[in-house]
A = this chain, B = another copy of it.
Amino acid sequence: MSIENPFYSPEAQGPYEMHSIGRFDLEEGGVIPDLRLAVATRGKLNADKSNAILIPTWFSGTHQTWDQIYIGEGHALDPEKYFIIVVNQIGNGLSTSPHNTHDPSITMSKFPKVRISDDVRAQEQLLREVFDIEKLALVVGGSMGAQQTWEWAVRFPDKVLRAAPLAGTAQNTPHDFLFTQTLLDAITSDPGFAGGDYATHLQVQAGLARHADIWAVMGLSTEFWKSGFWKDIPMLNGETTDDFTTFQAGFIRALFQLMDPNALLAMGWKWQRGDVARNTGGDLAEALGRITAKTLVMPIDHDMFFPVADCAADQQLTPGSELRVLPSIAGHLGLFGFEPTYVEQVDRNLAELLAAPI
């Protein structure tokens, strides 16, 4: 029933544990009969359970980038001090996803629609039932992880003491919706996609390539490409190149072509509809007004689809929040931490936020 894909394995992604939270009813009406969340924990929960940090993942991402870039000694997210729980989002290829479920009722094209709010509810249940955690010292996430962070802060204000949405909005914009749609259509228009019932992601390589090519435009920036910044970034084969189309093929295409098309589609549908105002009948100001967490909103200066202006608009509606623009020539994909200056600034902001009394 499920499809083997080595990209979604502990060998490729680093260690994680699977936790089942049982039958999960989704807001759109579907059901995941046995929702399994892939969870990576780092550090130890302290006695009064005051040092828990939750990190939800972004589109196409897993816990791995957080492990490699943001978590560790010397970083604000230090496992010596904090119990850090990275929860892979539903449908990301590690948690229950179209290609990895053994349940015939939700496999592949039958996978139900999942919302940001479903992820957040599932995470809240996981933390409560599995880890016995009722308060979070911090929720921090980038991109779709920021969408989940916003949703956490609005939906569970009593549980979120601090929040740090990086490069993501509380309410998705029409522009971002249309952008995401081009990403999804690039996949579904590939005849090999076969309506979602392909035998292997290798049949959808052309669609995944076009998907990646759009990322190379909207995910980065003209400065990234023009400056030649990419010449120092190793491609997936470990080599560097002086030719920008070779870099695009060897890095961005090569990466997305490892992934499962239905996983990307499940996440993309969710991304398009991230909206905390669903908690308040469409009133964004009222929704953001519910936030009690101390919040640092951190857009990236060159981001083309979660641009500073859109993130700043959310921040201005959020009590007790502050805007901290992060510098990255890599635009939205600056989240991958290509630049030490970017990572340092994130660390400084998060350290300050974690040190702030509540």
- Residue positions of A touching B, CB distance < 8 A: 173-179, 181-182, 185-186, 189-191, 206, 210, 213-214, 216-218, 220-226, 244-245, 248, 304-305, 307, 309-310
Contacts and interface: CB of A to CB of B under 8 A. Distances in A.
Given A182-B213, A185-B210, 19 more contacts: A174-B226, A174-B244, A175-B222, A175-B224, A175-B226, A177-B244, A178-B244, A178-B248, A181-B213, A182-B214, A182-B217, A186-B186, A189-B190, A189-B210, A222-B305, A222-B307, A222-B309, A222-B310, A304-B304
Contacts of A222: 173-176, 305, 307, 309-310
Contact of A218 (B177, B217, B309): B217
A191 B125 CA distance: 46
A226 B173 contact: yes
Contacts of A220: 175
25 contacts: A173-B225, A174-B225, A175-B220, A175-B221, A175-B222, A175-B226, A178-B217, A178-B225, A178-B248, A179-B217, A182-B182, A182-B214, A185-B210, A186-B186, A189-B189, A189-B206, A189-B210, A191-B191, A214-B214, A222-B305, A222-B307, A222-B309, A222-B310, A223-B309, A226-B310
Nearest to A179: B217
Contacts of A191: 191
A178 B215 CA distance: 10
Contacts of A176: 222
B175 A217 contact: yes
A123 to B, nearest CB: 29
Query: Which 8 A-B residue pairs are closest in the complex by CB-CB distance?
Result: A174-B225, A175-B222, A175-B225, A174-B244, A179-B217, A173-B226, A182-B213, A178-B217
A244 B218 CA distance: 20
A193 to B, nearest CB: 12
Contact of A210 (B182, B213, B217): B182
Nearest to A211: B182
A210 B310 CA distance: 25
A217 B173 CA distance: 12
Contacts of A190: 189
A181 B214 CA distance: 9
B244 A213 contact: no
A216 B185 contact: no
A210 to B, nearest CB: 6
Contacts of A182: 182, 210, 213-214, 217
Contacts of A214: 182, 214
B226 A178 contact: no
A214 B189 CA distance: 14
A225 B3 CA distance: 39
A178 B214 CA distance: 8
